[in-house]
Amino acid sequence: MFIFYYSTCSPFPALLAAISHCHPAISLGQAWAQALRWQRANSPLGKEALLIERFGQTSERDTVYLMSAAVPQPLLLRTLNSLAGLMKDRCGKELFLPAGPLPLWSGADGNAGVRPKEAFWKEIKALVEQTRLRVELIKKR
């Protein structure tokens, strides 16, 4: 299964979610540092830039993708969910899962903004856990 983490205008929240999903035991500090490194190496220039990148694989062999663009999360998630439903109808199985919504990142990329890092990380972890449960449920069907 393909799991998509999408965040608006900055890949940073999606990146943290992807890291957390692929490395469940990782600490906030390690995840933050890894996200910064990844972003420096891969992130496109500008908030409007479109990013779709394969991030890695989970221990359950699901593939995690990162997406970022200027499109608001609810709108894009509705489109992706519609597509996922369509593909399920056509293929008979659920191929991909758009995960979200992720919390908005108020600070500059990689720098702590108004939202404290710990609170932000907790929200990310909760969303990742929800996504894991959804994947588990889909696989049980």
Q: Does 77 bind other proteins (CB under 8 A)?
A: yes
Query: 102 to 131, contacts with other proteins by CB under 8 A?
Result: none
The distance of closest approach from Cβ of residue 121 to other proteins in the complex, given in angstroms and rounded to an integer, is 27
Compare residues 100 and 120 and give the one whose CB is closer to other proteins: 100
Q: Does 83 bind other proteins (CB under 8 A)?
A: yes
Q: Would you mind telling me the total number of residues written for the chain in this entry?
A: 141
Given 14, 19, 31, 76, the residue binding other proteins (CB under 8 A): 76
Q: Does 30 bind other proteins (CB under 8 A)?
A: no
SS3 of 25-86: CCCHHHHHHHHHHHHHHHCCCCCCCCEEEEEEECCCCCEEEEEEECCCHHHHHHHHHHHHHH
Tell me which DSSP letter residue 23 carries: -
Kindly calculate the radius of gyration of the chain based on its CA atoms and give it in whole angstroms.
Answer: 15
Instruction: Point out which residues bind other proteins (CB under 8 A).
Output: 2, 48, 50, 52, 54, 67, 69-72, 74-79, 82-83, 86-87, 90-91, 95-96
